Every structure is written in structure tokens, then in C-alpha cells.
Amino acid sequence: MAVLVTGAAGFIGFHVVRALLARGESVIGIDNLNDYYSVALKRSRLATLDPQSFRFLQIDFVNVAALKAAMSDLSVDTIIHLGAQAGVRYSIEAPQAYLKANLAGHLNILELARERACRHLVYASSSSVYGTNTKLPFSVDDPVDHPASLYAATKRADELMSESYAQLFRLPQTGLRFFTVYGPWGRPDMALWKFTAAVLEGRTVQLFNRGDMRRDFTYIDDIVSGVLAACDQAPCDDGRVHPGGSTAPHAIYNLGNDRPEPLRALLAIVEQACGRSANVELLPMQPGDVAATWADIAPARRDLGFAPSVDLAAGIPRFVDWYRSHYST
């Protein structure tokens, strides 16, 4: 049977599809190719994937009729649900997009997994669910009741919906809270992309909270390793307490680097990799943002063998090299 990957043209989804294909899996990918950021970039990602073992369907999983029609004659036993409306700041501008993609869309995927009696549903959550928590590092056992953005609220709601399906239908699921993922083929709305483009083009780099920000930056290859490890190990329905607190077959893990880095350190490595200095503008904190993130990854290390190995000094030059090659700068 095939593995279904939603958000297959997205940053993480594309890399996960590529890794699945590399280990011989048959993969079905779906994506609506929306214009939240460059559709050309999404199509360029898809163009690198082998069509012999990868089938791509351009559909919107929010449209339940279209989803059911597209999947009617396809067999899948595992779903990796990475499709979503991303972006903390955009959720302030376009809240309805999050209601549709992250809430209705997640429910549609849950129903698909239930109807197919899938072996395992792995889904993307986010470090944003920790919201205004000040205890560091963030643990999957921490309360997450105070989201700082609508995006965070929708991702926490996804976790709760998944818990209800695990309880009601014993559907094995794993939620993965990603921490600031970066690397080649990344997203244009993320800090590393913005900093690199600004430095290479001689534009001003904006540092929010006057640069006093720390993030647990996680390289894409490390994230993909964690996703595949989670995919291969569905939570048992044996009554034991899984990470995140569920006694149903539902586990939640942080996937981060366990190494919070100052935003200024990120910029310094970008400058070095680009061979140019940045013009910097210091700005106040933006609504919905938080000052620091830091992942407690002990449960993922223990259960999944998750062992991130790429630090900023190695990962950022790889991104800058890809960016220069892709855009011929």
C-alpha cells in the first residue's frame, strides 16, 4: 500500500516525500498549490520528484467531496498529514483560511484515516502551541492553554481532535510539534529566507523585539528523520501513558534541535555565508510572536531515536548555497 502525504508541495512535505521515495515507498501526494507563497517554488519542488513511484493530486483536502473522489480507487494504510495554512502573522490577517485548512481540513483527514482503518496517522503540530509559556525548555507534558495566535490555537485544536479520534475509534496517531524548520527549498516567509534575500539584495533586515529573540532552529534533514521514525512506530493501544498524556493510541513529540539560538547569531552566519554585511532595523515585538522557543526532545530521543545533528553553522551555508543556485544570485 501507499503512504499518503498531504502538503506534498510544501517545504517539509516535499522533503518527506523525497525521503520516502528514496527508501522505496510508493507515495501519493496531495496539495492545493495555494498562493500563500510562490506557486512556482512549489511546482519546482514537485518537478524534482520521480513520477514512477510518486503520484501527485492537486486537490484541496478542505473539500471533502473532492478528497473522497480523488482517493476512491487508491489504497493507503499510512497518512502523513503535513498540509495546513502556516504562518503566525498571516493568521491575524486571514483567520478564515486557518478555520478552513487547519480545522475543517484536519477533520477531513481524520475521517479519511478512520474510514480506511489506517495503520497510523502522523500529523504536523507546531511549537506555537506553547504560546505564552515561560518555562523552558518546552515539554509535551506542559499545559498549552494560552495560545498567542490563532494559528497556534488551530494547531492545538488539531491535537485535541486527534485525541478524540484516538479515544473513540482507537485510531493510532502521532502529533509532531515542529520547531522553526529551515534548509534548502524552505519557505519565503521564514526568517532565514528573508535574511538571506535581504543581505544578497542589499535590503534592510528587520529584527523584531530589537533582535532579542531565541529560536530552536531545526534543520530539515533532522526533521525528516524524525517524521519517518514516527511514521514507522505507531503508538500502541495498551493503556500506557504516551508522551503528551494520552492513554489512547496517541502520542505527541517535540521535534527540535534542543539548542535555542539568538536571532542575531542566525544573521551573523547568514552574513558570513553570503560574504556581505547586513543593514539592520530594530523593531518592536510583533503581535502573536514569542521571545523564545526551546524543545525538550527527551521523549523523541527515547522512543524514536531522534538525534538532530545539524547546527546553524553547517545548515545555514547549505541553505545559502541552494538559494544562490536556485535564483542564480
pLDDT class of 289 with cuts at 50, 70, 90 = confident
Helical H segments across the chain, by residue range: 11-22, 39-47, 64-71, 90-93, 95-98, 105-115, 150-169, 191-201, 220-231, 263-274, 298-304, 312-327
The pTM score is: 0.96
What is the pLDDT, as a whole number, of residue 285? 84
In whole numbers, what is the pLDDT of the chain averaged over residues?
A: 96
Of the listed 37, 98, 151, 323, which one is catalytic?
151
Separation of alpha carbons 2 and 198, rounded Å: 41
What is the pLDDT, as a whole number, of residue 329? 55
Separation of alpha carbons 35 and 214, rounded Å: 29
If you compute the radius of gyration of the chain from its CA atoms, what whole number of angstroms results?
Answer: 19
Higher pLDDT, 240 or 291: 240
Q: Which domains does the chain have, with CATH numbers?
A: 2-179+220-258+295-308 (3.40.50.720)
What is the pLDDT, as a whole number, of residue 267? 96
pLDDT of 115 strictly over 60 = yes
Question: Which grid coordinates belong to 41?
Answer: 517554488
Separation of alpha carbons 16 and 72, rounded Å: 24
DSSP-assigned letter for residue 73? T
pLDDT tens across 204-236, in order? 999 988 888 899 999 999 999 999 999 999 999
Separation of alpha carbons 250 and 165, rounded Å: 9
pLDDT of 28 strictly over 70 = yes
Separation of alpha carbons 20 and 6, rounded Å: 13
The stretch 148-166 carries a mean pLDDT of 97
What is the pLDDT, as a whole number, of residue 165? 98
* Contact predicate 213/263, CB 8 Å: yes
pLDDT tens across 223-271, in order? 999 999 999 999 999 999 999 999 999 999 999 999 999 999 999 999 9
The stretch 11-31 carries a mean pLDDT of 97
253: annotated active-site residue: no
| C-alpha of 23 from chain center | 21
Q: Which neighbouring-strand residues pair with 125? A: 177
